[in-house]
Amino acid sequence: NAGVTQTPKFRVLKTGQSMTLLCAQDMNHEYMYWYRQDPGMGLRLIHYSVGEGTTAKGEVPDGYNVSRLKKQNFLLGLESAAPSQTSVYFCATSGRHLSSYNEQFFGPGTRLTVL
């Protein structure tokens, strides 16, 4: 099992360009998350999904859009990239269990630089 994978691993964009980050999981998890990690800022939630076809805003959603058309995939889009979106992006997943206390499994990250 691959677990949680992210594509691409690295990307350099020019201001105003668009791109899509792909997160794929083979864990059959219901919940999926997109975080950004900046130096000294920890992990901040951008958007999340509690199931196929659903998405919701997190702490820092501006400038990003997401889609969850299939249970195993969660896409993060940047319509018009800005230098402030230079960051490392992590996808995470977790399953739904009766206990409600579920571990989040993180992907390896995508390092994005916007010039």
Partner 1 sequence: GENVEQHPSTLSVQEGDSAVIKCTYSDSASNYFPWYKQELGKGPQLIIDIRSNVGEKKDQRIAVTLNKTAKHFSLHITETQPEDSAVYFCAASLNYGGSQGNLIFGKGTKLSVKP
Q: Please select the residue that binds partner 1; options are 32, 46, 92, 112, rule is CB under 8 A.
A: 92
Q: How many residues lie near partner 1 (CB under 8 A)?
A: 26
Alpha-carbon 75 to chain mean position: 7
By CB under 8 A, residue 42 contacts partner 1 = yes
Q: What are residue 83's phi and psi, to 5 degrees?
A: -55, -30
**Residue holding tokens 């997401």?**
66
Where do contacts with partner 1 occur on this chain (CB under 8 A)? Answer: 4, 31, 33, 40-45, 48, 58-59, 90, 92, 94, 96, 98, 100-104, 106-109
